[in-house]
Amino acid sequence: MGEEKNRTGQIAPHGGQLVNRVLVGQEREEVLARSRELKKIALNARTLSDLELLAVGAFSPLEGFMGKDDYEHVINEMRLSSGLIWTLPITLAVSSDEAQELQEGEEVALLDATGEAVGLLSLQEKFTYDKKEEAWNVYKTDEDRHPGVWYLYQRGETLLGGNITLIRRQPLYPGFEPYRLDPRETRGIFNQRGWRTVVGFQTRNPIHRSHEYIQKCALELMDGLLIHPLVGKTKLDDIPSEVRLRCYEVLVEYYFPQERVFLSVFPGAMRYAGPREAVFHALVRKNYGCTHFIVGRDAAGVGGYYGPYDAWDLFGHFRRDELDITPLFFAETFFCRRCDAVVSAKTCPHDSSHHVALSGTRVRELLDRGEPLPSEFTRPEVSEVLGEWSRNGS
């Protein structure tokens, strides 16, 4: 089967069909009016972003929050009940008291923080779950110092499963909207540009020289590159998404061929689930039209909870024709002062005394101390953006 193509010549969405549960026109107005009479559930930042991504097809083949069968298969086997690969639970949790007020088979209005209806849930089932089991299976730890586990422990005790419809999207940070493209839109752009092979790059950090290096290595082999930064909920100490986006803008403007790179934002929340999340991000980028996906060192990791190349091992757990998107594995890269370039252990003959380690964590450490970013770390235009943010009260 390999990388299955649809009738446009593009890679098929995960599961074969791109989901669309966005309401428009008269149907939207009717559902919005009906929602005022329904029972209501308030969504947090993560579930709001999940609602949108479910509706626009980014999480295809899912059409709503997972029911018990899919949830348990994903937790234990990294597959949906259909057998299709899926590595992270997409769920909606409520308190036991809230769950008691809801009946299976009814519609429930989904609200944002202002109390406005943003979507509808057709409640098919409600069920309890074991938070410790999910923590160990998904995050490989039950320590609440892990941000994903901490979030899990704060949630309600009951999960609600059922299909959703989207009434209204949450506004993104000012200036983000031009970059907010749904899977149908990115696929349309790739098709217009004649890109048959597209490599996706997921990031939640400003792009440093190591990122630039592996992106350009991948681009040598591909028709196009999708730089797709995550701009949803992240850890409090991560650099704000608006600052990161400005870094991507200047880097693309000055250091990439405009006709072969596309910058768009991914309005999802970060789970910090390491290997499972790396596979998840690849499947999601397949839905956006990518045929290949960059997997670097400690992909989607945090705090030393995962081995540096555990994600590589997990990709190897699945058959390529099941994933239907090709991972491109890149080992740790660094700047070598003798080579005067970003290199890896595969390409550099010099010992480590000449090497400058590059990482988003290191960039944040220097910024926190008010130190300038060396040219070995990042381009001067990016350094200027980060320096201005740091000086103005980061």
Active site residue 204: yes
**Residue from 21, 169, 187, 205 carrying the catalytic annotation:** 205
Distance CA 304, CA 78 (A): 22
Q: Catalytic: which of 46, 155, 187, 204?
A: 204
What residues contact residue 116 under an 8 Å CB cut-off, 6+ apart?
168
Residue 297 annotated as catalytic: no
Asked if residue 261 lies in contact with residue 179, where contact means CB atoms within 8 angstroms, the answer is no
Which residues are known to be catalytic?
Answer: 204-205
